[in-house]
Structure 1
Amino acid sequence: MQTVSMIVPCFNEQESVPIYFNAMAKIFQKPEMQNYALELWFIDDGSSDATLSELKKLNKQYPDVAHFVSFSRNFGKESAIYAGLQAATGEIVGLMDVDLQDPPELLPQMLQELSTGDYDTIGTRRIGREGEPAFRSFLSNLFYKFINKISKVEIIPNARDYRVMTRKVVNTVLSMPEVNRFSKGIFSWVGFKTKYLDFENRERVAGTTSWSLWQLFEYSLEAIIDFSAAPLAIASFVGIFACVVSVLAIIFIIFRTIFFGDPTTGWPSLAAMILFIGGIQLFCLGILGNYIGRIYSESKHRPIYVINEKK
């Protein structure tokens, strides 16, 4: 019998935790799952509600199945995923959201595909975004198109974190202890044979999402910087473009002064040029600063997360 360790990041999910556990218990009672034993690793990412209390109840009632890691504060979903990968002991390791937007009923098929030995990872992706705001869907599609244009690593559009992996894949991911993490990119970067199963989008079973539009923007920016040096090249191109425009502007001003005079004594043109060049410089410095900031955070070698409690 193989143990399937499912990693379940949680942040303020007190309502979803018991619903999720019951749904997973039913799945593993099915005849086709008789050769698999379930191990759940709930990662409490510094929740401020009763999520930890719910996890302790499950652990007390099902100590061999329901385990948890509680962070000392909120470190983010990426840190929770990494902590779960480190804690998981199963031959097969899975990743799943607690809100059941990832369908548990798809898990038997995923494990069946993995058991053939033809693939090292079975991932999932949504084929629709019904119920999601149109503007958010537009930005998501734009992000995938943009990052796949500038990155050498293909990020599968609409891919979910929901996946199952062999121990070989997990050990490879764990060998990458970087602080600034984008797991979808990391899973693609490590390679291995991967198959994706499609499913229709579904609503959360309880609670509300903790991801704001600004947080999603920051997460997208993290992915772009982590998996592409293209922004630095763009900054260089914009700098060259600004220099060319400035030279042309200077030539224009000189000719205008020689042939038509300069009744305004040149201050509007000078001010426009200074503002233009200054804006370009700040833009380029901002891009460069993001990369330097990530180098700085990696150089401090701080832990990716801090555990407050684990069972």
Structure 2
Amino acid sequence: MKIERISIVVPCFNEEAALPLFYEELENTRKKLKQADIEYIFVDDGSKDKTLAVIKKLAKNDEKRIHYVSFSRNFGKEAALYAGLQYATGDYVAVMDADLQDPPELLPEMLSLIRNQNYDCIGTRRVTRNGEPPVRSFFAKQFYKWMNRISETEFIDGARDYRLMTRRMVEAVLSVSEVNRFSKGIFSWVGFDTYYLPYKNKERVAGETSWSFWGLVNYSLDAVINFSDLPLTFASFIGIFSFFISIIFLIFIVVRALLFGDPTAGWPSLVTIFLAIGGLQLFCLGIVGKYLGKTYLETKKRPLYILKETDRTDEDKDRRL
């Protein structure tokens, strides 16, 4: 039976402390895989610490399996994921974080399911959020709840980027070459048969997360804009609603003037109304501006990332098994 290759794509940003532990765990898991071997694609996303040096040290000791891609600066996790998928050459491709919050021990089961059940993707989803701040957990649950209401693309509550995909699904994901990326949505949007393995949340083994609360909020806004046009509809509804309210107020003013004359009182209420309507207009313009800004970035056609160095060749990048 053919020995199949699994490419493990690992986006890294300041993961100097976690990488040796991650590699050790994956090597233990590799020995449990049946008729399969692993290649590692570490993507250094402009780290400020010694992440790249650690990757090179690991690669020196395991040149056959470990490969790396390094960016000229920090381009974000989405760009790192895309680059890793481009350079992966395996029959199957897995996406994992280096902090071991994605349990490597699930890989053998994921491989078995994808082989025997004819799935194109085995994803993972957290069923608990132990160790996570309650506020973040609350907003995360609300995000998935509302995204499924406003978008035609399905968003699985607790889903992680950690997944194992067939080559044809990877090619489909790579064909979505938009600059403004939200991988969880893209993985769902391209379709294919997917099964989600549940697991309990794990905390980082080392280092600190690069995601702040507001960073996650902005990331969520990107998801809304990329996979739903409902905010634009909402902005239009607010405009129509404000127009009808103004007509009602106009009728009220005319009737009051005919019945009671035209008093000069009421300037505070008028100023309040003007401020309210002005605020609604600016709010709607902000929504439109957000979509317009994303469109503007797409039309620039800038690359998702700029490569600084890699041990892979263009032939490796273009090779698809």
The two structures share one fold, judged by TM-score above 0.5: yes
Count of aligned residue pairs for this structure pair: 309
Report the alpha carbon displacement of residue 62 of structure 1 after superposing the two structures with TM.
1.0
Measure, in 2, the Cα distance between the counterparts of 1:229 and 1:244: 23
Map 1:186-265; keep pairs closer than 5 Å.
186-261=186-261, 263-265=263-265
**Cα contact 1:155–1:185 (8 A) shared by 2:** yes
Query: Which residue matches 1:112?
Result: 112
Report the alpha carbon displacement of residue 275 of structure 1 after superposing the two structures with TM.
1.1
SS at match of 1:206: coil
Q: Which residue type is aligned with residue 209 of structure 1?
A: T
Measure, in 2, the Cα distance between the counterparts of 1:257 and 1:146: 46
Unaligned runs of 5+ in 1: none
Query: Which residue matches 2:76?
Result: 76
Structure 2 residue 151 is matched with structure 1 residue 151 = yes
Query: Which residue matches 2:123?
Result: 123
Equivalent residue in structure 2 for 1:19, among 21, 39, 60: 21
Measure, in 2, the Cα distance between the counterparts of 1:113 and 1:267: 70
Equivalent residue in structure 2 for 1:29, among 28, 31, 53: 31
Map 1:266-277; keep pairs closer than 5 Å.
266-277=266-277
Report the alpha carbon displacement of residue 205 of structure 1 after superposing the two structures with TM.
0.4
SS at match of 1:248: helix
Q: Which residue type is aligned with residue 52 of structure 2?
A: L
Q: Which residue type is aligned with residue 4 of structure 1?
A: I
Measure, in 2, the Cα distance between the counterparts of 1:166 and 1:36: 14
Measure, in 1, the Cα distance between the counterparts of 2:63 and 2:249: 73
Measure, in 2, the Cα distance between the counterparts of 1:51 and 1:245: 58
Measure, in 1, the Cα distance between the counterparts of 2:264 and 2:47: 62
Post-superposition CA distance 1:100-124 (Å, at most 9, x none): 0111111100001011152000000
Report the alpha carbon displacement of residue 264 of structure 1 after superposing the two structures with TM.
4.5
Query: Which residue matches 2:292?
Result: 292
Q: Which residue type is aligned with residue 113 of structure 1?
A: L
Query: Which residue matches 1:178?
Result: 178
Q: Which residue type is aligned with residue 216 of structure 2?
A: L
Measure, in 2, the Cα distance between the counterparts of 1:220 and 1:191: 21
SS at match of 1:112: helix
SS at match of 1:27: helix
Measure, in 1, the Cα distance between the counterparts of 2:119 and 2:34: 21
Measure, in 2, the Cα distance between the counterparts of 1:299 and 1:145: 31
SS at match of 1:281: helix
Query: Which residue matches 1:9?
Result: 11
Query: Which residue matches 1:98?
Result: 98
- Percent of aligned pairs sharing the same letter: 56
SS at match of 2:224: helix
**Cα contact 1:113–1:119 (8 A) shared by 2:** yes
Query: Which residue matches 1:301?
Result: 301
Measure, in 1, the Cα distance between the counterparts of 2:260 and 2:207: 69
Query: Which residue matches 1:61?
Result: 61
Q: Which residue type is aligned with residue 187 of structure 2?
A: F
SS at match of 2:192: coil
**Cα contact 1:246–1:273 (8 A) shared by 2:** no
**Cα contact 1:122–1:197 (8 A) shared by 2:** yes
Measure, in 1, the Cα distance between the counterparts of 2:129 and 2:261: 61
